[in-house]
Structure 1
Amino acid sequence: MKCKVQQKFSSYPDQIKPRMENLRDLIYEVAKNTEGVGKLEETLKWGEPAYLTSQTKSGTTIRIDWKPKNPDQIGMYVSCNTTLVSTFRTMFGDDLKFEGNRAIYFPVDKPLPKKQVMICIQMALRYHLDKGT
């Protein structure tokens, strides 16, 4: 983990840090097991941990964060220029909470819906490959 990203994770409250690390681990797990994705680059974008498919340009950037103004949730964000959140909403509208066309929010007091989250991550990491662009 890069120093600035590590500092960001260290800044999360004690009860939030494991949730953020769990979501980060899922992103890496999905990337490792998804054809065409390649190695991820971990960095900060807009002060948030971000995961880019830099070597293959297979997908769109995924950002994750927790914000004090919404302490009861963590977020996963994708580019608002994609159709991903619209697709996620169609697939998982009863299981996940969305905002606009860029965010999925997960309550911090419940386990991550791992299967649905992994599908969303995979679709984001393969977005350009699957769109044929």
Structure 2
Amino acid sequence: MAKIQHPFEDPAVKAVFASYPEPEQSSLLVIRDRIFRTAGQTAGVGNLLETLKWGQPAYLTPDTKSGSTLRLGLPKTGGYAIYVHCQTTIMSDFQQVFPSDFTYEGNRAIHFSTDNPPELSKLELLISRVLTYHL
């Protein structure tokens, strides 16, 4: 497993990351680190809870309830992905800003290839929006 910037509090979440193959594991750990960093730098988010939803690492704002659920995982088509709640406008709003910068799965996910890592500064905008969706 790659170097962890933010320690795992839930051993079940740590085990899921450990089960991911390389290089997807390292790529998802980079996004995980960016989620925690963005949460810490975004007003109104509060504490971030890392748990499992549908067997995938999920990030919630239980204290402030400022955000929607954000998940990380491995899509069946290969690569890795970041998922948002599909009944929100989060992904469609993001896609209007960056229409051709990412590979979108409808209004629920962005898929990434290990050959072409995401531009994290752009992805940080999505993360921030998810974590503040209810504000």
Q: With the length of structure 2 as denominator, give the TM-score of the two structures.
A: 0.90
Map of 2:118 onto structure 1? 112
Residue identity in the other structure for 1:85: M
Q: After TM superposition, which residue ranges in structure 1, 4 or more long, deviate above 6 angstroms?
A: none
Query: CA separation in 2, counterparts of 1:127 and 1:20?
Result: 22
Shift of 1:112: 1.9
Q: 5+ residue gaps in structure 1?
A: none
Query: CA separation in 2, counterparts of 1:89 and 1:61?
Result: 18
Query: CA separation in 2, counterparts of 1:38 and 1:62?
Result: 15
Shift of 1:70: 2.1
Q: 5+ residue gaps in structure 2?
A: 1-7
Query: CA separation in 2, counterparts of 1:103 and 1:13?
Result: 20
Task: Name the Cα RMSD after superposition.
Answer: 1.0
Query: CA separation in 2, counterparts of 1:17 and 1:121?
Result: 19
Where do residues 1-133 of structure 1 align in structure 2 (5 Å cutoff)? 1=8, 2-67=10-75, 69-71=76-78, 73-129=79-135
Shift of 1:122: 0.3
Query: CA separation in 2, counterparts of 1:94 and 1:28?
Result: 26
Q: With the length of structure 1 as denominator, give the TM-score of the two structures.
A: 0.92
